[in-house]
Structure 1
Amino acid sequence: MLSFRTFLYDLRQNRSMIVVATILFVFGLIAGIIWSEQLGNYLASQLDQLRTISSQLKQGSNVQMNYFLFIFFNNAVKSILVLLLGFFIGIIPAFFLVMNGMIIGYLLQSASVHGDNVTELIVKGLLPHGIIEIPAIIIASAYGLRFGKLMLDTLTTSNAPGRQRLKSERRLFLRSIIPASLWIVILLFVAAVIESTLTYWLMS
Protein backbone atom coordinates (compact mmCIF):
# COMPACT_ATOMS: atom_id res chain seq x y z
CA MET A 1 0.00 0.00 0.00
CA LEU A 2 2.87 2.37 0.81
CA SER A 3 5.07 1.30 -2.08
CA PHE A 4 6.39 3.84 -4.54
CA ARG A 5 4.71 1.85 -7.32
CA THR A 6 1.34 2.42 -5.64
CA PHE A 7 2.12 6.11 -5.38
CA LEU A 8 2.98 6.29 -9.09
CA TYR A 9 -0.23 4.44 -9.96
CA ASP A 10 -2.26 6.93 -7.90
CA LEU A 11 -0.47 9.81 -9.63
CA ARG A 12 -1.54 8.44 -13.01
CA GLN A 13 -5.10 8.22 -11.73
CA ASN A 14 -4.87 11.84 -10.59
CA ARG A 15 -3.03 13.20 -13.64
CA SER A 16 -5.85 15.54 -14.71
CA MET A 17 -5.66 17.38 -11.38
CA ILE A 18 -1.86 17.46 -11.56
CA VAL A 19 -2.25 19.26 -14.91
CA VAL A 20 -4.74 21.70 -13.34
CA ALA A 21 -2.42 22.27 -10.37
CA THR A 22 0.53 22.93 -12.69
CA ILE A 23 -1.52 25.43 -14.69
CA LEU A 24 -2.52 27.28 -11.50
CA PHE A 25 1.12 27.41 -10.35
CA VAL A 26 2.32 28.68 -13.74
CA PHE A 27 -0.50 31.25 -13.77
CA GLY A 28 0.67 32.51 -10.39
CA LEU A 29 4.28 32.62 -11.60
CA ILE A 30 3.32 34.70 -14.66
CA ALA A 31 1.03 36.94 -12.56
CA GLY A 32 3.87 37.60 -10.12
CA ILE A 33 6.06 38.74 -13.03
CA ILE A 34 3.47 40.74 -14.98
CA TRP A 35 1.67 42.37 -12.06
CA SER A 36 4.68 42.82 -9.81
CA GLU A 37 3.95 46.55 -9.38
CA GLN A 38 0.24 46.11 -8.60
CA LEU A 39 0.85 43.22 -6.21
CA GLY A 40 4.20 44.50 -5.01
CA ASN A 41 3.22 45.62 -1.51
CA TYR A 42 1.53 42.36 -0.58
CA LEU A 43 4.14 40.07 -2.13
CA ALA A 44 6.98 42.15 -0.72
CA SER A 45 5.47 41.73 2.76
CA GLN A 46 5.47 37.95 2.26
CA LEU A 47 9.15 38.04 1.27
CA ASP A 48 9.96 40.32 4.21
CA GLN A 49 8.51 37.70 6.55
CA LEU A 50 10.76 35.07 4.97
CA ARG A 51 13.78 37.38 5.29
CA THR A 52 12.98 37.93 8.97
CA ILE A 53 12.78 34.18 9.55
CA SER A 54 16.02 33.70 7.60
CA SER A 55 17.79 36.26 9.81
CA GLN A 56 16.57 34.45 12.93
CA LEU A 57 17.75 31.09 11.61
CA LYS A 58 21.24 32.51 10.99
CA GLN A 59 21.59 33.40 14.66
CA GLY A 60 21.68 29.77 15.80
CA SER A 61 24.79 27.69 16.41
CA ASN A 62 24.12 25.32 13.48
CA VAL A 63 22.74 27.50 10.70
CA GLN A 64 22.35 24.80 8.07
CA MET A 65 20.53 22.48 10.48
CA ASN A 66 18.24 25.37 11.45
CA TYR A 67 17.48 25.96 7.78
CA PHE A 68 16.84 22.28 7.16
CA LEU A 69 14.42 21.89 10.08
CA PHE A 70 12.49 25.04 9.20
CA ILE A 71 12.29 24.32 5.47
CA PHE A 72 11.31 20.68 5.91
CA PHE A 73 8.66 21.11 8.60
CA ASN A 74 7.24 24.27 7.02
CA ASN A 75 6.84 22.65 3.60
CA ALA A 76 5.71 19.26 4.92
CA VAL A 77 3.05 20.63 7.27
CA LYS A 78 1.71 23.09 4.70
CA SER A 79 1.60 20.47 1.94
CA ILE A 80 -0.29 17.92 4.04
CA LEU A 81 -2.68 20.61 5.27
CA VAL A 82 -3.30 21.77 1.71
CA LEU A 83 -4.03 18.17 0.71
CA LEU A 84 -6.53 17.67 3.54
CA LEU A 85 -8.10 21.14 3.37
CA GLY A 86 -8.96 20.47 -0.25
CA PHE A 87 -12.09 19.08 1.42
CA PHE A 88 -13.46 22.63 1.20
CA ILE A 89 -14.15 22.28 -2.56
CA GLY A 90 -10.49 22.83 -3.46
CA ILE A 91 -10.31 26.56 -2.70
CA ILE A 92 -7.30 26.42 -0.36
CA PRO A 93 -4.98 24.32 -2.60
CA ALA A 94 -5.84 26.53 -5.58
CA PHE A 95 -4.98 29.67 -3.58
CA PHE A 96 -1.81 28.02 -2.24
CA LEU A 97 -0.58 27.18 -5.75
CA VAL A 98 -1.25 30.63 -7.17
CA MET A 99 0.36 32.39 -4.20
CA ASN A 100 3.52 30.24 -4.32
CA GLY A 101 3.82 30.86 -8.06
CA MET A 102 3.29 34.60 -7.58
CA ILE A 103 5.97 34.87 -4.89
CA ILE A 104 8.54 33.13 -7.11
CA GLY A 105 7.53 35.25 -10.10
CA TYR A 106 7.75 38.45 -8.06
CA LEU A 107 11.15 37.43 -6.68
CA LEU A 108 12.52 36.83 -10.19
CA GLN A 109 11.05 40.08 -11.50
CA SER A 110 12.45 42.07 -8.56
CA ALA A 111 15.88 40.53 -9.11
CA SER A 112 15.72 41.53 -12.77
CA VAL A 113 14.68 45.10 -11.95
CA HIS A 114 17.56 45.45 -9.49
CA GLY A 115 20.05 44.24 -12.08
CA ASP A 116 20.73 40.85 -10.52
CA ASN A 117 21.63 37.85 -12.64
CA VAL A 118 18.24 36.09 -12.91
CA THR A 119 19.69 33.07 -14.71
CA GLU A 120 22.19 32.55 -11.91
CA LEU A 121 19.44 32.97 -9.32
CA ILE A 122 17.35 30.28 -11.03
CA VAL A 123 20.24 27.87 -11.58
CA LYS A 124 21.84 28.28 -8.15
CA GLY A 125 19.00 29.38 -5.91
CA LEU A 126 15.95 27.59 -7.27
CA LEU A 127 16.69 24.58 -9.45
CA PRO A 128 18.84 22.41 -7.10
CA HIS A 129 16.00 21.90 -4.62
CA GLY A 130 13.09 23.30 -6.62
CA ILE A 131 13.24 20.49 -9.14
CA ILE A 132 11.98 18.23 -6.32
CA GLU A 133 10.19 20.68 -4.02
CA ILE A 134 7.93 22.32 -6.61
CA PRO A 135 6.61 19.02 -8.08
CA ALA A 136 5.98 17.75 -4.51
CA ILE A 137 3.96 20.87 -3.70
CA ILE A 138 2.05 20.59 -6.99
CA ILE A 139 1.28 16.91 -6.28
CA ALA A 140 0.03 17.69 -2.75
CA SER A 141 -2.15 20.48 -4.10
CA ALA A 142 -3.43 18.24 -6.91
CA TYR A 143 -4.64 15.77 -4.29
CA GLY A 144 -6.30 18.66 -2.49
CA LEU A 145 -8.00 19.75 -5.71
CA ARG A 146 -9.15 16.18 -6.30
CA PHE A 147 -10.57 16.07 -2.79
CA GLY A 148 -12.40 19.32 -3.45
CA LYS A 149 -13.85 18.06 -6.72
CA LEU A 150 -15.14 14.92 -5.02
CA MET A 151 -16.82 17.03 -2.33
CA LEU A 152 -18.31 19.38 -4.92
CA ASP A 153 -19.58 16.46 -7.00
CA THR A 154 -21.09 14.95 -3.85
CA LEU A 155 -22.98 18.18 -3.15
CA THR A 156 -24.28 18.52 -6.70
CA THR A 157 -25.09 14.89 -7.57
CA SER A 158 -28.56 13.69 -6.59
CA ASN A 159 -29.15 10.55 -8.68
CA ALA A 160 -28.55 7.20 -6.97
CA PRO A 161 -26.09 5.70 -9.52
CA GLY A 162 -23.99 8.87 -9.44
CA ARG A 163 -23.88 8.95 -5.66
CA GLN A 164 -22.91 5.30 -5.53
CA ARG A 165 -20.08 5.93 -8.00
CA LEU A 166 -18.89 8.91 -5.95
CA LYS A 167 -18.96 6.83 -2.77
CA SER A 168 -16.61 4.33 -4.39
CA GLU A 169 -14.35 7.13 -5.71
CA ARG A 170 -14.16 8.75 -2.27
CA ARG A 171 -13.21 5.46 -0.65
CA LEU A 172 -10.41 4.88 -3.17
CA PHE A 173 -9.22 8.48 -2.84
CA LEU A 174 -9.13 8.41 0.96
CA ARG A 175 -7.15 5.17 0.77
CA SER A 176 -4.62 6.85 -1.55
CA ILE A 177 -4.01 9.78 0.84
CA ILE A 178 -1.74 7.78 3.17
CA PRO A 179 0.86 6.67 0.57
CA ALA A 180 0.63 10.07 -1.14
CA SER A 181 1.34 11.90 2.13
CA LEU A 182 4.26 9.60 2.92
CA TRP A 183 5.97 10.06 -0.45
CA ILE A 184 5.28 13.80 -0.56
CA VAL A 185 6.98 14.15 2.84
CA ILE A 186 9.93 12.03 1.63
CA LEU A 187 10.32 14.22 -1.47
CA LEU A 188 10.17 17.36 0.66
CA PHE A 189 12.74 15.87 3.03
CA VAL A 190 15.16 15.35 0.13
CA ALA A 191 14.44 18.86 -1.18
CA ALA A 192 15.09 20.35 2.27
CA VAL A 193 18.42 18.51 2.53
CA ILE A 194 19.47 19.91 -0.85
CA GLU A 195 18.25 23.43 -0.06
CA SER A 196 20.01 23.57 3.30
CA THR A 197 23.29 22.23 1.89
CA LEU A 198 23.87 22.61 -1.86
CA THR A 199 21.58 25.61 -2.45
CA TYR A 200 22.85 27.27 0.73
CA TRP A 201 26.45 26.76 -0.36
CA LEU A 202 25.80 27.99 -3.93
CA MET A 203 24.00 31.13 -2.75
CA SER A 204 26.66 31.88 -0.14
Structure 2
Amino acid sequence: MPGSKKGSPARTFLLLLLVFIAASFLGYAFALGNPDVAIDAVKKIAEEIGPISDSSFKNFVLIFTNNSMVALFMMLSGLLFGLGPWFIMAFNGFIVGLVVRAIQLTGELSTGQIVLGIIPHGVIEIPALAVAGVAGIIWYREIVHGDEEAGERFRRGTVKALRLLALSILLLLVAAFIEAYITPSIAGIG
Protein backbone atom coordinates (compact mmCIF):
# COMPACT_ATOMS: atom_id res chain seq x y z
CA MET A 1 0.00 0.00 0.00
CA PRO A 2 1.56 3.35 -1.01
CA GLY A 3 2.45 5.66 1.86
CA SER A 4 2.22 2.95 4.52
CA LYS A 5 5.80 1.65 4.54
CA LYS A 6 8.17 2.47 7.37
CA GLY A 7 9.60 5.93 6.86
CA SER A 8 6.89 7.03 4.46
CA PRO A 9 5.99 10.74 4.41
CA ALA A 10 2.50 10.01 5.81
CA ARG A 11 3.92 7.96 8.67
CA THR A 12 6.56 10.59 9.39
CA PHE A 13 3.87 13.30 9.39
CA LEU A 14 1.73 11.38 11.89
CA LEU A 15 4.71 10.64 14.12
CA LEU A 16 5.69 14.32 14.14
CA LEU A 17 2.16 15.20 15.24
CA LEU A 18 2.33 12.55 17.98
CA VAL A 19 5.64 13.96 19.18
CA PHE A 20 4.04 17.41 19.41
CA ILE A 21 1.04 16.09 21.34
CA ALA A 22 3.15 13.99 23.72
CA ALA A 23 5.48 16.92 24.36
CA SER A 24 2.46 19.16 25.03
CA PHE A 25 1.38 16.82 27.79
CA LEU A 26 4.93 16.76 29.14
CA GLY A 27 5.04 20.57 29.15
CA TYR A 28 1.72 20.70 30.94
CA ALA A 29 2.87 18.11 33.49
CA PHE A 30 6.12 20.01 34.02
CA ALA A 31 4.13 23.19 34.66
CA LEU A 32 1.94 21.34 37.17
CA GLY A 33 5.01 20.48 39.21
CA ASN A 34 6.82 23.77 38.61
CA PRO A 35 4.17 26.51 38.46
CA ASP A 36 6.55 29.39 39.22
CA VAL A 37 8.97 28.27 36.51
CA ALA A 38 6.08 27.97 34.03
CA ILE A 39 4.76 31.45 34.78
CA ASP A 40 8.25 32.96 34.57
CA ALA A 41 8.87 31.19 31.24
CA VAL A 42 5.62 32.50 29.80
CA LYS A 43 6.46 36.03 30.95
CA LYS A 44 9.82 35.78 29.18
CA ILE A 45 8.15 34.46 26.03
CA ALA A 46 5.65 37.34 26.14
CA GLU A 47 8.51 39.84 26.50
CA GLU A 48 10.27 38.30 23.50
CA ILE A 49 7.14 38.43 21.36
CA GLY A 50 6.17 41.91 22.48
CA PRO A 51 2.71 43.36 22.91
CA ILE A 52 -0.18 42.19 20.78
CA SER A 53 -1.21 44.89 18.37
CA ASP A 54 -4.70 46.37 18.20
CA SER A 55 -4.41 45.86 14.46
CA SER A 56 -5.52 42.42 13.30
CA PHE A 57 -3.54 42.96 10.11
CA LYS A 58 -0.29 43.64 12.01
CA ASN A 59 -0.91 40.54 14.13
CA PHE A 60 -1.61 38.53 10.98
CA VAL A 61 1.67 39.65 9.38
CA LEU A 62 3.65 38.99 12.58
CA ILE A 63 2.11 35.54 13.09
CA PHE A 64 2.52 34.53 9.45
CA THR A 65 6.11 35.78 9.27
CA ASN A 66 7.11 34.06 12.50
CA ASN A 67 5.46 30.76 11.60
CA SER A 68 6.89 30.82 8.07
CA MET A 69 10.37 31.28 9.52
CA VAL A 70 9.75 28.34 11.86
CA ALA A 71 8.60 26.25 8.88
CA LEU A 72 11.72 27.17 6.91
CA PHE A 73 13.88 26.31 9.90
CA MET A 74 11.98 23.02 10.30
CA MET A 75 12.72 22.10 6.71
CA LEU A 76 16.39 23.08 6.90
CA SER A 77 16.82 21.28 10.22
CA GLY A 78 15.88 18.05 8.49
CA LEU A 79 19.29 18.16 6.88
CA LEU A 80 20.76 17.52 10.35
CA PHE A 81 20.55 13.75 9.87
CA GLY A 82 16.76 13.99 9.67
CA LEU A 83 16.59 14.77 13.40
CA GLY A 84 15.96 18.52 13.60
CA PRO A 85 12.19 18.48 12.98
CA TRP A 86 11.67 15.95 15.77
CA PHE A 87 13.35 18.21 18.29
CA ILE A 88 11.58 21.34 17.06
CA MET A 89 8.16 19.68 17.23
CA ALA A 90 8.93 18.38 20.72
CA PHE A 91 10.15 21.78 21.89
CA ASN A 92 7.11 23.60 20.48
CA GLY A 93 4.74 21.04 21.95
CA PHE A 94 6.41 21.35 25.35
CA ILE A 95 6.08 25.14 25.21
CA VAL A 96 2.38 24.91 24.29
CA GLY A 97 1.69 22.65 27.27
CA LEU A 98 3.67 24.93 29.54
CA VAL A 99 1.88 28.04 28.29
CA VAL A 100 -1.57 26.46 28.66
CA ARG A 101 -0.93 25.56 32.29
CA ALA A 102 0.68 28.94 33.07
CA ILE A 103 -2.32 30.79 31.63
CA GLN A 104 -4.62 28.58 33.70
CA LEU A 105 -2.60 29.47 36.79
CA THR A 106 -2.93 33.19 36.17
CA GLY A 107 -6.72 32.86 35.99
CA GLU A 108 -6.85 35.47 33.22
CA LEU A 109 -8.65 33.11 30.86
CA SER A 110 -11.01 30.22 31.43
CA THR A 111 -10.04 26.76 30.20
CA GLY A 112 -12.67 27.13 27.49
CA GLN A 113 -11.10 30.38 26.32
CA ILE A 114 -7.67 28.77 26.27
CA VAL A 115 -8.94 25.85 24.19
CA LEU A 116 -10.78 28.20 21.82
CA GLY A 117 -7.64 30.32 21.63
CA ILE A 118 -5.63 27.35 20.36
CA ILE A 119 -7.88 24.98 18.43
CA PRO A 120 -9.25 27.11 15.55
CA HIS A 121 -5.85 27.96 14.09
CA GLY A 122 -3.89 25.15 15.76
CA VAL A 123 -5.63 22.41 13.77
CA ILE A 124 -4.05 23.95 10.68
CA GLU A 125 -0.85 25.45 12.09
CA ILE A 126 0.54 22.37 13.83
CA PRO A 127 0.03 20.04 10.84
CA ALA A 128 1.51 22.76 8.60
CA LEU A 129 4.66 22.77 10.71
CA ALA A 130 4.73 18.98 10.61
CA VAL A 131 4.56 19.16 6.80
CA ALA A 132 7.61 21.45 6.85
CA GLY A 133 9.35 18.90 9.08
CA VAL A 134 8.49 16.11 6.66
CA ALA A 135 9.95 18.27 3.87
CA GLY A 136 13.30 18.43 5.65
CA ILE A 137 13.33 14.75 6.50
CA ILE A 138 12.50 13.81 2.91
CA TRP A 139 15.25 16.11 1.67
CA TYR A 140 17.76 14.41 3.96
CA ARG A 141 16.57 10.92 2.98
CA GLU A 142 16.80 11.75 -0.74
CA ILE A 143 20.36 12.99 -0.31
CA VAL A 144 21.51 9.96 1.70
CA HIS A 145 19.67 7.14 -0.08
CA GLY A 146 19.53 6.19 -3.70
CA ASP A 147 21.67 4.93 -6.52
CA GLU A 148 21.84 8.17 -8.47
CA GLU A 149 24.73 10.61 -8.39
CA ALA A 150 24.79 12.82 -5.27
CA GLY A 151 23.94 16.00 -7.20
CA GLU A 152 20.82 14.40 -8.66
CA ARG A 153 19.70 13.12 -5.26
CA PHE A 154 20.23 16.60 -3.78
CA ARG A 155 18.27 18.24 -6.62
CA ARG A 156 15.39 15.76 -6.38
CA GLY A 157 15.27 16.15 -2.60
CA THR A 158 15.32 19.92 -2.88
CA VAL A 159 12.38 19.93 -5.29
CA LYS A 160 10.35 17.62 -3.06
CA ALA A 161 11.21 19.63 0.05
CA LEU A 162 10.33 22.98 -1.54
CA ARG A 163 6.98 21.67 -2.76
CA LEU A 164 6.10 20.56 0.75
CA LEU A 165 7.40 23.83 2.20
CA ALA A 166 5.12 25.73 -0.20
CA LEU A 167 2.16 23.67 1.03
CA SER A 168 3.19 24.34 4.62
CA ILE A 169 3.42 28.09 4.04
CA LEU A 170 0.04 28.15 2.30
CA LEU A 171 -1.49 26.38 5.30
CA LEU A 172 0.29 28.78 7.65
CA LEU A 173 -1.22 31.70 5.74
CA VAL A 174 -4.68 30.31 6.44
CA ALA A 175 -3.81 29.57 10.08
CA ALA A 176 -2.42 33.09 10.61
CA PHE A 177 -5.60 34.60 9.16
CA ILE A 178 -7.72 32.52 11.53
CA GLU A 179 -5.47 33.33 14.51
CA ALA A 180 -5.47 37.08 13.83
CA TYR A 181 -9.05 37.63 12.68
CA ILE A 182 -11.24 34.79 13.97
CA THR A 183 -9.69 33.22 17.07
CA PRO A 184 -9.85 36.36 19.26
CA SER A 185 -13.60 36.77 18.77
CA ILE A 186 -14.35 33.04 19.13
CA ALA A 187 -12.28 32.78 22.32
CA GLY A 188 -13.51 36.11 23.67
CA ILE A 189 -9.98 37.42 24.02
CA GLY A 190 -10.01 40.11 21.35
**TM-score over 0.5 for the pair:** yes
Q: How does 1:49-128 map to 2 (within 5 A)?
A: 49-52=44-47, 55-58=50-53, 63-115=55-107, 116-122=109-115, 124-128=116-120
Q: Could you state the TM-score of these two structures normalised by the residue count of structure 2?
A: 0.78
CA contact (8 A) 1:83 1:141 kept: yes
Is the 8 Å Cα contact of residues 135 and 160 (structure 2) preserved in structure 1? no
Q: 1:145 pairs with 128, 134, 137, which one?
A: 137
Residue of structure 2 in register with 1:33 after alignment: 28
What 5-or-longer segments of structure 2 have no aligned partner? 1-7
d(CA) in 1 for partners of 2:132 and 2:181? 24
> What letter corresponds to residue 203 of structure 1 in structure 2?
I
CA contact (8 A) 1:132 1:188 kept: yes
CA distance in 2, matches of 1:144, 1:48: 32
Choose between structure 1 and 2 for higher RCO, CA contacts under 8 A separated by at least 6 residues. 1
Question: 2:190 matched to 1:198?
Answer: no
Whichever residue aligns with residue 94 of structure 2, its letter is M
CA contact (8 A) 1:17 1:143 kept: no
Give SS of 1:35's match. helix
Q: Percent identity?
A: 21
Q: Please, what is the CA RMSD of the aligned residues?
A: 3.0
Once the 2 structures are TM-superposed, how far is the Cα of residue 38 of structure 1 from its aligned partner?
5.0
Structure 1 residues 87, 55: closer, same or farther in 2, change over 3 A? closer
1:132 paired with 2:124, answer: yes
Distance 1:35 1:138 in 2: 23
Report the structure, 1 or 2, having the larger helix content.
1
Equivalent position of 1:186 in the other structure? 170
The two structures have a TM-score, normalised by structure 1, of: 0.73
What is the number of residues matched between the two proteins? 180
Kindly indicate whether residue 22 of structure 2 is the aligned counterpart of residue 22 of structure 1: no
Deviations 1:78-97 (A, max 9, x none): 10121022101133212210
Pick closer, same or farther for the CA change 1:40–1:172 going to 2, 3 Å. Answer: farther
